[in-house]
Amino acid sequence: MSSLLWIKALHIAFMVAWFAGIFYLPRLFVYHAESNSAEVHQQLKTMERRLLYFVTPFALLTLILGLILIYMYGSAWFAQSSWLHVKLVLVAVLYVYHGYCFKLLSDFKNNRNTRSGRFYRIFNELPVLILFAVIILAVVKPLLY
């Protein structure tokens, strides 16, 4: 079996694991922002920290394997794949989102959160929308320019 297919399968598997955490973490932020209990806050601080640090290696492995795939497909393929250029911009937004989660984690850890549960509910939708767009781009591969 081709090593390319193994790398692609691992890329997808790590992406799914990363997204599981990226979908759940803002939901924990919602609960944290809406709770008035010190005990609940302490529990959520632990859960948030563990989850973010657990999924960060998946984000890094997704990136590394994605770059390996681009390298294996070659520069001519990359130049012709306009859908991939858009996908990479969206993926960059996801990495900024992931990094911003560390800032939010710090705010909660230091009791500096000023945002509402509603903000975190909306914040939770961004990766869902990007995931749909990325999947459509990767599967359909539309010619964009």
Q: Is pLDDT of 145 > 80?
A: no
CA atoms within 13 A on the CB side of 142: 9
pLDDT single digits (tens) 9-35: 999 999 999 999 999 999 999 999 999
Mean pLDDT, range 41-56, rounded to an integer:
98
Backbone angles phi, psi at 2, to 5 degrees: -65, 135
The pLDDT score that the predictor gives to residue 144 is 83
- The pTM assigned to this predicted structure is 0.94
The secondary structure of 50-77, three-state, reads: HHHHHHHHHHHHHHHHHHHHHHHHCHHH
Domain ranges of the chain: 3-140
pLDDT single digits (tens) 77-105: 999 999 999 999 999 999 999 999 999 99
